[in-house]
Structure 1
Amino acid sequence: MSKLVHTGVVVIGTGFSGMGMAIQLRKQGREDFVVLEKAKDFGGTWRDNSYPGCACDIQSHMYSFSFEPKADWSRAFAPQPEIYEYMRGVAAKWDLARNTVFGAEVAGARWDEEENRWYVATTTGDTYVAQYLISGIGALHLPQVPHLNGIENFQGKAFHSARWDHDYDLAGKRVAVIGTGASAIQFVPRIAKDVARLTLFQRTPPWVMPKPDHAMPEWSKSAFAKVPGAFRGYRHFLYWLNEVRAVGFNGNLGVLKAASRLAAWNIKRSVRDPELVAKLTPDYVMGCKRVLISNDYYPTFRRDNVALDTSGVAEVKANSIVTNDGQEIEVDAIIYGTGFQVIDAMQHLDVVGRDGVQLGKLWQENGVNTYNGINVAGFPNLFFLLGPNTGLGHNSVVFMIEAQLNYIREAMKLAERHNVEAIDVRPGAQEQFNIEIQRKLREGVWTQGGCKSWYLDAQGVNRTLWPGFTWKYWLKTRKVDGSDFELITRSRSPQPAGATT
């Protein structure tokens, strides 16, 4: 039987964002919150993505909560199982299961203007009523599966990398991999040595740099655990090492062109066939698409059982793929390494705000616009974690999440100080924020680098990345500017943030 549950805060998702928010609420002494998770465990994308070779491309010590340090990471760049176990351990330490409902997928949310409350419906039929709604769903949770002509006739196995079928034995199979994104460059080298034949279908080649990965020495683990300030000092070093890369992404194309030459050399030293080198070398400036890191991706093409196809898929038959240049390749399995629905996922959110405005429809018509990547005008007490225009191409998104956790905490305090039930960002403040970041994004490599990427929407506007240094975002979100918000009382009358109620 479905039920109606009243609480103070509803948090959606148990990835780094949702877990971090739940921990911050508990630190404040709040127990009036519920975390809704569609799966059966914590972990978010690190729970879902378990394909062979899955690992982080940001250093382990940066890709973890600053308030929950882990001194004994096994490698500089942690593999998926270790990150997953870290997250489960953090959840257990803070007893987050006590406030989490698993198997509760959110179907939609509606703001009630009479009650000043969010009504959050789940696919189980239960409804949660809360003052605050915080989305920690992230951008990498809905697999992007392209439609291949004739795929319904395929009699083999087909799955996306984020839904890896571990029960299907690839040994001795003829495998087609569609896509050359971040996931594919990790799992292709791992499965290539087991399969009979692997054909990689590439539409656009990525820039792939060497991965400075190594096992963490025991002395460093000991120092991080026992020497005061050692871990934090190393984390600061990694932060600034990564932060420097933003210089190139934000308009200094000369730096990126120089890096592109280094990456091109990396291809030539790894692949001996000149024709193959040409196919693997991008024709756009590095950084225009996501820069990938790997030490074994390019060498994989030296294997006799690995082939690269750049003509594309014309048709899928019962046991084969026909390419656009007329080849017919027999395959037993098709694996999609085609990433996730990022912008589309945002535009299809079933969230209804003030005056019955649907968020998905609003974003479809006007583009995905927010204030600080966190708030949306007309949707009081709704907060996004790692929302639009807060993704990164150069540093750890966990840093951005922690900045947002602080911001949401301060926003709640703003409402408490003024004894109001809701705050809603002013449209003018949101518009000014978007004007500023889009101006910066137009000057960056994502727009000027000569490519199309999943960072951009259908109109070619970057709705994904933060355009600049992360320390600037940290400064911007340290305090909440009350003048940018309307304060809403039970009478539904908005108040200026400086007013008393």
Structure 2
Amino acid sequence: MPDADSTKPQTTQYDVLIVGSGFAGLCMAIRLNQAGHRYLLLEQAASLGGTWQANRYPGAACDIPSSLYCFSFAPNPDWSRAYPAQAEIEGYLKRCADRFGVRAQMRFNHTVTAARFDERRRCWRVEVGNGAQVFHARSLILATGGLSRPKLPAIAGIEQFAGQSFHTARWPADADLAGKRIGLIGTGASAIQVLPSIVDDAAQVSVFQRTPAWIIGKPNWAVARWRKALYRRFPISQRISRVFNYWRHELFAVGFTRLPALLRVLEILPRLQLRWQVRDRQLRARLTPNYRVGCKRVLLSSTFYPALCRDDVELVTMPIARINATGIETSDGVNHRLDVLISCTGFEAAEACAPFPVAGRDGLDLDHAWRDGQNAYLGTTVSGFPNLFIMSGPNTALGHNSMVYMIEAQANYVSDAIAHLARRPGAAMDVDATAQREYNIALQQRLARTVWNTGGCSSWYRTRDGLNTTLWPDFTFVFRHRLRRFDPLPYHWLD
């Protein structure tokens, strides 16, 4: 007979609870630890890393230079390549957790199942494991990110497929592709990394493309030992590399958000690469986008086109009609027989969806508040949800530069907000609904003039109704300036 108390939820009180241990969650943990707050980070996986812990498919890597894809306060002089791979990024995050002493405040295999704002106590009640454990905290930080919910293809009959089927974000450790006929659905960011990595093992690969992407070369050179030594001995040299890469990427925002005429110039490089790497004129025509560069995310690869040109790889551009037990049937009636089906279909980033039920004041559900599309004040706070902060929230993602830059800007803002809360014990703050609405009206007006809304494509940046809930429509330094310090004026206080 179990002890009577063993079935009762365990309750613990903190200043701040963080959910998620990717770049955003780790950055917040470091900032809160430095400020001396009592915090706890909850992570559903067995180890930290967020999207870089979950996405373990062959070829998984970053498309932002390594000098940019790290914290500004924790440069890594030992990156092995110009663009880091998944395992190296995951290792970097783990080393940061140890270096800044935050691992002790992390709880792994802790799946948050619900969060509710307790109006009487003015704090958040967070349930783990359907109530097996209960945590209370004045502030709640959601750092689950937009790339945590795989977007599964809604294709008739997919459940009937008799072979192995999985999404790239859920790549099974025991996947055996040797000698198999493999189908890849999609030609986006994960597909262009997977194909070159598996093609030598497979007997045949069929790539099912709905819309081609603009692809430019990826100069992924190995970092020489002398360069690593230079970075270690003279850190300013790596800082210069970071600044150079930052401004090189930031210039793309000029064409994407302000001067659309520049986009024709930006198309020159991907067109030249396509012509150089794909000699077959008919295949090249099927790989040429019919929308403006930048409307969808510009992809980086020097190996995707050569892999597509192999005799054991076919590009299928006919629409998928259905999936059956033996493979994929396209609209022309052809049945493509497959042993393994891999969905390279990205994530549910734009559609309104909280990572778990989140209830604010008067029981307001976050999904209901976002029923007409995700939106937040400065991409961070939502009216009706006091002391709730969303990292990598609505309209904070980028189509041209490093998300780590945006994460650090948000971390500064949230840390400052929590410092304000610490000076008013027992109080809570809620962003004004009018301030949030006016901010998002102005945001959408700017987005209406960007290539992401006018470039003639359908992308994961926008909802099914065409609302862009994902991207920041300006230079990244403008975002950082807006969030340089917490301004209490748009907030009202609950005492």
**Interval containing the TM-score (normalised by the shorter chain):** over 0.9
**Which residue number corresponds to residue 497 of structure 1?**
none
Cα distance in 2 between the residues matched to 1:442 and 1:345: 20
**Which residue number corresponds to residue 461 of structure 1?**
467
Q: By how many angstroms is 1:351 displaced?
A: 0.9
Q: By how many angstroms is 1:367 displaced?
A: 2.1
Cα distance in 2 between the residues matched to 1:95 and 1:418: 28
Query: Do structure 1's residue 72 and structure 2's residue 72 form an aligned pair?
Result: no
**Which residue number corresponds to residue 349 of structure 2?**
342
- Classify 1:457/1:295 alpha carbon distance in 2 versus 1 (closer, same or farther; 3 Å): same
| Amino acid of the structure 2 residue aligned with 1:448 | T
Cα distance in 2 between the residues matched to 1:345 and 1:44: 20
The Cα RMSD (Å) is: 1.4
Query: Do structure 1's residue 451 and structure 2's residue 457 form an aligned pair?
Result: yes
Cα distance in 2 between the residues matched to 1:322 and 1:349: 36
Q: By how many angstroms is 1:488 displaced?
A: 1.7
Query: Do structure 1's residue 311 and structure 2's residue 318 form an aligned pair?
Result: yes
TM-score by length of 2: 0.96
Q: By how many angstroms is 1:416 displaced?
A: 3.2
The Cα offsets for residues 37-71 of structure 1, whole Å up to 9 and x where unpaired, read as 00000000001111111110001111111111111
The Cα offsets for residues 18-53 of structure 1, whole Å up to 9 and x where unpaired, read as 1111111111122x2111100000000001111111
Cα distance in 2 between the residues matched to 1:334 and 1:396: 31
Query: Do structure 1's residue 193 and structure 2's residue 212 form an aligned pair?
Result: no
**Which residue number corresponds to residue 127 of structure 2?**
121
C-alpha contact (below 8 Å) 2:56/2:169 kept by paired residues: yes
Cα distance in 1 between the residues matched to 2:237 and 2:56: 32
Counterpart mapping for 1:408-427 below 5 A: 408-419=414-425, 421-427=427-433
The Cα offsets for residues 158-185 of structure 1, whole Å up to 9 and x where unpaired, read as 0111111231221110000001110000
Counterpart mapping for 1:19-34 below 5 A: 19-30=26-37, 32-34=38-40
- Please give the secondary structure, in 1, of the residue aligned with 2:267: helix
| Amino acid of the structure 1 residue aligned with 2:344 | G
| Amino acid of the structure 1 residue aligned with 2:444 | Q
**Which residue number corresponds to residue 269 of structure 1?**
276
The Cα offsets for residues 368-424 of structure 1, whole Å up to 9 and x where unpaired, read as 120000000111100011111000011110011011111011112222345552111
**Which residue number corresponds to residue 494 of structure 1?**
none
**Which residue number corresponds to residue 255 of structure 2?**
248
**Which residue number corresponds to residue 284 of structure 1?**
291
Query: Do structure 1's residue 95 and structure 2's residue 108 form an aligned pair?
Result: no
C-alpha contact (below 8 Å) 1:349/1:360 kept by paired residues: no
Cα distance in 2 between the residues matched to 1:416 and 1:163: 40
**Which residue number corresponds to residue 441 of structure 1?**
447
Q: By how many angstroms is 1:332 displaced?
A: 0.4
**Which residue number corresponds to residue 156 of structure 2?**
149
Cα distance in 1 between the residues matched to 2:155 and 2:455: 29
- Please give the secondary structure, in 2, of the residue aligned with 1:86: helix
Q: Name which of 135, 140, 159 aligns with 2:142.
A: 135
- Classify 1:378/1:265 alpha carbon distance in 2 versus 1 (closer, same or farther; 3 Å): same
Cα distance in 2 between the residues matched to 1:160 and 1:428: 40
**Which residue number corresponds to residue 380 of structure 2?**
374
Q: By how many angstroms is 1:228 displaced?
A: 4.5
Query: Do structure 1's residue 106 and structure 2's residue 142 form an aligned pair?
Result: no
The Cα offsets for residues 99-138 of structure 1, whole Å up to 9 and x where unpaired, read as 1111111111111111101011122521111100001000
Cα distance in 1 between the residues matched to 2:426 and 2:256: 42
Counterpart mapping for 1:40-55 below 5 A: 40-55=46-61
| Amino acid of the structure 2 residue aligned with 1:445 | V
| Amino acid of the structure 2 residue aligned with 1:45 | T
- Please give the secondary structure, in 1, of the residue aligned with 2:135: strand
C-alpha contact (below 8 Å) 1:347/1:361 kept by paired residues: no
**Which residue number corresponds to residue 4 of structure 2?**
none
Q: By how many angstroms is 1:486 displaced?
A: 0.7
Cα distance in 2 between the residues matched to 1:188 and 1:260: 24
TM-score by length of 1: 0.95
Cα distance in 1 between the residues matched to 2:333 and 2:472: 43
- Give the fraction of aligned pairs with identical amino acids, expressed as a percent: 43
Cα distance in 2 between the residues matched to 1:458 and 1:162: 22
**Which residue number corresponds to residue 82 of structure 1?**
88
- Please give the secondary structure, in 2, of the residue aligned with 1:393: coil
**Which residue number corresponds to residue 436 of structure 2?**
430
Q: By how many angstroms is 1:151 displaced?
A: 2.1
Cα distance in 1 between the residues matched to 2:324 and 2:465: 34
Between the two proteins, the alignment pairs up a number of residues equal to 487
Cα distance in 2 between the residues matched to 1:228 and 1:402: 20
Cα distance in 1 between the residues matched to 2:298 and 2:391: 23
Counterpart mapping for 1:284-303 below 5 A: 284-303=291-310
Cα distance in 1 between the residues matched to 2:484 and 2:388: 18
- Please give the secondary structure, in 2, of the residue aligned with 1:41: coil
Cα distance in 2 between the residues matched to 1:408 and 1:152: 43
- Please give the secondary structure, in 2, of the residue aligned with 1:361: helix
**Which residue number corresponds to residue 482 of structure 1?**
488
Q: By how many angstroms is 1:349 displaced?
A: 4.5
**Which residue number corresponds to residue 159 of structure 1?**
166
- Classify 1:10/1:419 alpha carbon distance in 2 versus 1 (closer, same or farther; 3 Å): closer
Cα distance in 1 between the residues matched to 2:434 and 2:356: 23
Cα distance in 2 between the residues matched to 1:409 and 1:322: 53
- Classify 1:348/1:405 alpha carbon distance in 2 versus 1 (closer, same or farther; 3 Å): closer
Cα distance in 2 between the residues matched to 1:105 and 1:413: 28
**Which residue number corresponds to residue 355 of structure 1?**
362
**Which residue number corresponds to residue 67 of structure 2?**
61
Query: Do structure 1's residue 210 and structure 2's residue 217 form an aligned pair?
Result: yes
| Amino acid of the structure 1 residue aligned with 2:161 | F
Query: Do structure 1's residue 259 and structure 2's residue 277 form an aligned pair?
Result: no
- Classify 1:415/1:95 alpha carbon distance in 2 versus 1 (closer, same or farther; 3 Å): closer
Q: Name which of 7, 11, 30 aligns with 2:14.
A: 7
- Please give the secondary structure, in 1, of the residue aligned with 2:473: coil
C-alpha contact (below 8 Å) 1:415/1:487 kept by paired residues: no
- Please give the secondary structure, in 2, of the residue aligned with 1:482: coil
Query: Do structure 1's residue 231 and structure 2's residue 228 form an aligned pair?
Result: no
161-170 vs 280-289, which moves further: 161-170
**Which residue number corresponds to residue 499 of structure 1?**
none
Gaps of 5+ in 2: 1-6
C-alpha contact (below 8 Å) 2:352/2:367 kept by paired residues: no
C-alpha contact (below 8 Å) 1:207/1:292 kept by paired residues: yes
